[in-house]
Amino acid sequence: MIRHLLIVCQGNLCRSPIAQGLFQRLLPDITVSSAGLAATDGMTMDPVARSMLKLRGIDMSSHRARRLDEGMCRSADLILVMEFEQRKAIERFYPAARGRIYRVAEVFPSDVQDPYQRSQRKYDYAMTLLEHGVNDWVERIRKLSACGQR
């Protein structure tokens, strides 16, 4: 059963907080958190990404970036990353997390490229991949939870 979901990107400013907000709305009974491999602790979320979520009724204004650490990896039942290289990096730095790390857009199979400080088109594309990826994972998580309750 998935109780704690961790979403990881590079800086924890765009992609992982977007996915966190989307997951929190759809899976309110699960703890959802996010972090970045190279995050600067305390930075606020990218304003473009924050406003895109706000248009969808999701408020992430209190989000502050956090750098990924071993404790976060240990407490997570499932870790979703944006890029295959991020998966490899987490497995290298935190080997105990192996077997629980997948890409959020695994269904495509595609990496979600970082739109940070790029064109609106890049943000829109990242959001589309994240929405589809999150919806796919929500379905998987719900099925796992249903099986675990039997």
Is 114 a known active-site residue? Answer: yes
Backbone torsions φ then ψ of 36, nearest 5 degrees: -130, 145
Is 15 a known active-site residue? Answer: yes
Q: Is the pLDDT of residue 150 over 70?
A: no
- Annotated active-site residue in 14, 15, 87, 103: 15
Distance (Å, whole) CA 125 – CA 131: 10
Could you tell me which residues come within 8 angstroms of residue 69 by beta carbon, excluding any fewer than 6 positions away?
35
Whole-model pTM: value is 0.95
Q: Which of 5, 8, 9 is nearest to 31 (CA)?
A: 5
- Annotated active-site residue in 9, 14, 50, 66: 9
Q: Is the pLDDT of residue 69 over 80?
A: yes
Distance (Å, whole) CA 110 – CA 86: 13
Q: What is the pLDDT of residue 9?
A: 98
pLDDT confidence band for 39 (50 / 70 / 90) = very high
Q: What is the pLDDT of residue 110?
A: 85
Mean pLDDT rounded to a whole number for the chain: 96
Distance (Å, whole) CA 83 – CA 111: 5
Domain 4-148 is of which CATH architecture?
A: 3-Layer(aba) Sandwich (3.40)
User: What are the sequence ranges of the domains in the chain?
Assistant: 4-148
- Annotated active-site residue in 46, 66, 87, 114: 114
pLDDT confidence band for 149 (50 / 70 / 90) = low
pLDDT confidence band for 42 (50 / 70 / 90) = very high
